[in-house]
Structure 1
């Protein structure tokens, strides 16, 4: 059904994207014949997501800044620019990889388009590799929100760009 976000089994070479990732999940939404590419799908997810997600991100930034954790992609090489706070690591029209490495964990999001011209779908895969107790604790604390955030963000892909 077009526009319905559902959790799916990740279909990604995790070792090629983020070797040693301890957490991987994926969500998919059918977009029909929508002519968007991977960058536009990611922009709609990240920059035009629900306002409550922006509020959670601001709260997260306030809470983690005393620990010296990154609150944006500052200082991170971004060969293909930034989308929101995420440096784009690699990009083709069908696949965009964004994310960064930090003291506590490394994070990647992969946005992929697949399907035929009239029946396309977008899959968003999240990969995380923790480095220490702080990273494991952080991952445990955000997990209750992760599914809600990703579903909310992916729900915006079908909406026209603002």
Structure 2
């Protein structure tokens, strides 16, 4: 399964107006019936152990700084997938994310027909609000690319473990 980085193709202003950062990764999977929610569940419901360790470290550092940690936030009518509240959803696109005082974050999961299956694209958008947000974004970017690719690889799994 080949994951490739592509130019983000989402309407930034429609998803997160003013976002200063965007990237996108794409993979093709054989599941011709895959919808955006199922793809997002496969991507975000489980993390490899090394990713979970990084998230735990992030949460230990973030809490004293007053930043949201995993599981915090307002209840959402779209539910939560992994760490992320679902903000909007169609069969072809799911948008999840949260707003915090240092930055706003969105992840967009798009699915589209592709010969022999589906093309799945994850796009990350970030809008920083202050110096702390810019520092945080700079600090996590080297890890973000590795994590994004690792999580997207999971979309090819036939089903989620129960």
TM-score range, shorter chain: over 0.9
Q: Distance in 2 between matches of 1:13 and 1:73?
A: 28
Q: Distance in 1 between matches of 2:69 and 2:42?
A: 20
Q: TM-score w.r.t. structure 1 length?
A: 0.93
Stretch of structure 1 that moved more, 50-59 or 106-115: 50-59
Q: Distance in 2 between matches of 1:49 and 1:84?
A: 9
- Corresponding position of 2:145: 147
CA shift, 1:61, in A, is: 0.5
1:1-162 matches, cutoff 5 A: 3-116=1-114, 118-160=116-158, 161-162=160-161
For structure 1, the residue ranges without an aligned partner over 5 or more in a row are none
SS at match of 1:155: helix
Give CA deviations for 1:55-75 in whole Å, capped at 9, x if unaligned.
111111111110110003533
For structure 2, the residue ranges without an aligned partner over 5 or more in a row are none
Structure 1 vs Structure 2 CA RMSD: 1.3
Q: Distance in 2 between matches of 1:24 and 1:123?
A: 13
Count residues in correspondence: 160
